[in-house]
Each structure stands twice: as C-alpha cells, then as structure tokens.
Structure 1
Amino acid sequence: MGKRKMASKSARRIQSHADKTGKNQDFKRRAQSAADKNKGKK
C-alpha cells in the first residue's frame, strides 16, 4: 500500500472527531499541518 497524502477534507474530519471526544488534540494540529503542506504540492 502506498503513502496517502492528507487532504483538507480528511483533516477537518479528524479535527471534528477530536473536538467531540476531547482526545488527539496534538494529532489534530499535525493533520491540519500535513494537509496545508500537501495542498501546495498538487
């Protein structure tokens, strides 16, 4: 299986879930950062 790049839509989904559960707050930030980096690589 190849590497998948984080998309903005996926980052938003992860952030929403983290906000609802109160967990993975650090991962939420990293997901958004990865999506922002990948956005410029298209």
Structure 2
Amino acid sequence: MKQCFDNDIVEYDFQIFLKIRVFLEEKITEEVKLESVASDKLI
C-alpha cells in the first residue's frame, strides 16, 4: 500500500516538473526572440 502511494507522489512531482520545464522553455524562447528583435533594431 505504501509503495503505491509513493509512486503516485513521484508521478505527480514528475507532472509538475514537466509543466515547469515546458513553461521555462517557452519563456526562454520568448526572451531569445525579444533579444534578436532588439539586436536587429540596433544594426
């Protein structure tokens, strides 16, 4: 019984981890786009 419970928690943590990772990747992509736009204006 305890083992199943632990697995559920691990699964839940993994889902959160994936969401955070996707969120961060999108944020980084946006920042890179903004930087490239800014550098285009400078040139």
TM-score, reference length from structure 1: 0.43
Structure number with greater CO (CA < 8 Å, separation at least 6) is 1
Q: Which structure has the highest helix share of the two?
A: 2
TM-score, reference length from structure 2: 0.42
The structure with the largest alpha-carbon Rg is 2
